[in-house]
Structure 1
Amino acid sequence: MARQLDEQMAGRFPVGQRLRVLDVGMGRGAQALRLARAGHRVTGLEQEAGSVSAARDALSREPEGIRERMRIIEGDGRDTGVHFLPGSFDVVLCHGVLMYVEEPDPLVAGLARMLAPGGLLSLLVRNGDALAMRPGLDGDWAGALGAFDCADHADRPGHDGRADRLRTLTATLAGIGAPLHTWYGVRVFTDTVADDAVPPTDLGPLLAAEERAGRTDPYRAVAALLHLCGVRG
C-alpha cells in the first residue's frame, strides 16, 4: 500500500511539495505517521477511542517537527463536512473503512468533496469479485460455492463486512467527479496466511511478488483487497 500510494503521489505532484493529507479511519496512525515523517501536513480522523489513543501515543514519541505536522481528530468519517471545508486537501485516504459502512456512496462523495482540483483519493476495499478465493484455497468447498452468490459481504471470522465490486466503485467515482485513475490488487498471494503467522526473516521477495502481482493482470483481479486511486476533476 505504501509503495502504491507513493507511486501515485510522485506521479501527480511536484517533487518536494508538502501536501495536505486527510486520513479517514486512520486506525493507529501507521500511514498517517509515515506521510508526516515524509514532510506532509497530515490530519487523521478516527472514531475508535482505543485507536485514537494509540495514534496519539505514537505521535508523542516523534520529533517536534513531525508532531507539528500532524493532528488527530476523534470523529466519524461520514462527518468530514462538519470538520473541514471542501477542497481542503490534496490527498484523501480511506483505507479499510468502506467494508464496515452499510451505505458507502455518501461517504465516498464526502471524501471527494474534501479534495482540491487534481487531488488524489485513495480507497482500500474488500474485493467483491473474488470472495470465493479464500475459502477455495483453504479447501472449504461449501464456503467457496456460497461466496459466488454473496454479492455484498465478506465472510471471515471476526472480520465480517461488506465487499465492493470494481465496476460499481468505478461508476461511483465517475459520478462524484473523481474518476478512477488506476487500481491495484492487495494480498494476492498472502490472504490465506494465518493472522498469527511468523513473517519470514527476509520480507523482500514476498513484498516484491505481491507488488508485481498487484499491478499485473489477471492476478490483481483476484486479490483479497483492491486499492483504487481516483483523481478529482
Structure 2
Amino acid sequence: MARQLEEQIVGRFPVGRRLRVLDVGMGRGAQALRLARAGHQVTGVEQDATLIASAREAFAEEPEGIRERLRIVEGQAGDTGVHFVPGSFDVVLCHGVLMDVEEPDALLAGVARMLAHGGLLSLLVRNGDAPAMRAGLCGDWGAALEAFCTSAYGLKRLTATLAGIGAPLRAWYGVRVFTDAVGDESAVPGDLDALLSVEDRAGRTDPYRGVAGLLHLCGVRG
C-alpha cells in the first residue's frame, strides 16, 4: 500500500514539493515516518497511549532533521476540527480507522475538510463487498448469506460518500487479495517477493481487486 500511496502523491504534486500531511489514526507511526523520511511535514493523530509510546520510540531513533518533521497530537480521529484549521493539509491519511467508529460518514466529512483545494485523501478500509466471498471459500454458508445483508462499506457506497464530501474518487486498489485470511505474515508460504508482486498486480486488476480484504481509495478535494 505504501507504493500505491507514493504513486498517487507523485502523480498529484510537483516533484520535490514538501507536503503538509495529516495521518489520522497514526498507530505506531510507520506511514508517518516513511513520509517524513521522504521530506514531508507530518502530523499524526492518535488516542491510544500504547501506540503513541511506540511511535515516539521509533521517531526518537531518527536523525534530528527527520524528527523535526514529525508531530504527534493526542486525540480522537473525529476531533480534527478541534485541533486544525480546515484546508491546512495537502494530504490526509485515514487508514484502518473507519471500521472502529460509530459514525464513519461524519468522520470522513471532517477529515476531508482538513484538505486544501486539490489535496489528496487516502483511505484504507475493510472491504464490505468481501466477507461473503471469504466465508464462502471457507465453507461457512450461513456467514456468507449473512454477509450479503450487511450494510458495510463497499466500493459503491464509498465512491458515493467521497463524492458527497467533496473529494471524488481518483483511484482505488485492492489490498490483501489472496492473503486476507492469513493472520501471521510469518505463516505466508512460498517466495515472499513473488507473493508481494502477485498481490500488487491483483490489487490493480479486475475482478480480483473487487474482492480484496481491504480497499485503498484515493480522493481529491475539488
TM-score of Structure 1 vs Structure 2, range by shorter chain = over 0.9
1:101-153 deviation line (CA, Å, top 9, x unaligned) = 1111111111111111110000111111121122222232322222222233x
C-alpha distance in 2 between matches for 1:229 and 1:138: 31
> Are positions 1:141 and 2:130 aligned together?
no
> Are positions 1:223 and 2:199 aligned together?
no
> Are positions 1:112 and 2:101 aligned together?
no
C-alpha distance in 1 between matches for 2:187 and 2:131: 25
Q: Partner of 2:218: helix, strand, or coil?
A: strand
How many aligned positions are there? Answer: 222
C-alpha distance in 2 between matches for 1:183 and 1:196: 24
Paired residue for 1:172, among 149, 156, 161?
161
C-alpha distance in 2 between matches for 1:76 and 1:194: 27
C-alpha distance in 1 between matches for 2:167 and 2:195: 32
Query: For structure 1, which runs of at least 5 residues remain unmatched after alignment?
Result: 153-163
1:17-42 deviation line (CA, Å, top 9, x unaligned) = 11110000011101001111111100
Output the aligned Cα RMSD. 1.4
C-alpha distance in 2 between matches for 1:79 and 1:192: 33
Mapping 1:1-150, distance limit 5 Å: 1-150=1-150
TM-score norm. by structure 2 comes to 0.96
C-alpha distance in 2 between matches for 1:20 and 1:196: 32
C-alpha distance in 2 between matches for 1:172 and 1:103: 13
Identity of aligned residues (%): 74
C-alpha distance in 1 between matches for 2:149 and 2:169: 26
Q: Which residue of 2 aligns with 1:159?
A: none
Q: Which residue of 2 aligns with 1:214?
A: 203
Q: Partner of 1:102: helix, strand, or coil?
A: coil
C-alpha distance in 1 between matches for 2:183 and 2:73: 33
- Which 4+ runs in 1 deviate beyond 3 A? 196-202
Contact 1:32 1:44 in 2 (8 A): yes
How big is the shift at 1:203? 2.2
1:161-213 deviation line (CA, Å, top 9, x unaligned) = xxx12111111111111111111111101011133643458422111111111
The one-letter code of the counterpart of 2:155 is L
Q: Partner of 1:132: helix, strand, or coil?
A: helix
C-alpha distance in 1 between matches for 2:188 and 2:125: 24
Query: For structure 2, which runs of at least 5 residues remain unmatched after alignment?
Result: none
C-alpha distance in 2 between matches for 1:194 and 1:106: 30
Contact 1:23 1:44 in 2 (8 A): yes
